[in-house]
Structure formats: structure tokens, C-alpha cells
Amino acid sequence: MAPHPALGDFELAVLVALVALDEPYGAAIRREVSSRLGRECAVGAVYVTLQRLEDKGLVSSHMTDPLPIRGGRSRRSYRLTKDGERALHTARAVRDRLWQGVPVKARPA
């Protein structure tokens, strides 16, 4: 199996958002990432990251049908590929392993 490309923090947050959302498209992903990171994220940063993840083969995208409302628009919807799922699991395992046996309080006093 080929090694997974290393994931940055923001890339990881975007991948987690993709898993967490029922309908992962640009605006929803941006909101989810902002909420998880606790800071407002730029829509451009999210799209650049999504494109980079797509280049790495971790994410795929397609245009949805127009929404069934007046003037409804198509959305670019994203989903994790098998490689993306594997990369996410690996990233989580690495982080879990990193903290194993380290007696650090959740919040410093």
C-alpha cells in the first residue's frame, strides 16, 4: 500500500468536516471547519484546500442537480475517496499514538 501524504491541520479539519456533514458543499464545509477550529475561515482557504486534497486523490467532487426551489442553484458537492478515508484513519491513529501515556491535563491550570 502506498504511504498516505501527510495532512496539515487545516486539511485534516476539512476532511473531518466532510465526514461530519450530510451534505458537504462549500458553504457548509466552511461553517463546519470554522466551528471546529473556533475561528472564522475564509471561503477561499477552504476551496484551495479542497482542490489540493482533490489533487492528492483524497477527495472527489461533482456538481449536484439544481435545488428544487425557485432560482435554485447547483452546488459543488465533495466526498471522501477510499484513499481519503485511509489518510484520515492514519492521521487519527498517529495523533492517538502521540498522546498515549502522556499525563497532560486537558486545560492548563
Partner 1 sequence: MVALMPLVLAGTVADRELRDAIAGDLLEEHAERSVSAGRGRANWWLLLQLVHSFPYFASLSGDRDANGFTPQFIRRFYARLIAVIGIGVAVHLAVAWLHNSFASSAGVALSFLGGLLGACGAAYGAAVAVPAAPLAAALATGVVAAFAGAGAALLGDVTTFVPEWIALQSLLPFAALAGGLVRARQLC
Which residues ranging from 77 to 106 are in contact with partner 1 (CB under 8 A)? Answer: none
Which residues ranging from 3 to 62 are in contact with partner 1 (CB under 8 A)? Answer: 5, 25-27, 30-31, 40, 42-45, 47-48, 51-52, 55-56
One-letter amino acid for residue 108 of the chain: P
Tell me the three cell numbers of residue 76. 459543488
Cβ neighbours, 10 Å, residue 33: 23
Distance CA 92, CA 105 (A): 20
The binding site for partner 1 (CB under 8 A) comprises 5, 25-27, 30-31, 40, 42-45, 47-48, 51-52, 55-56, 63, 73-76
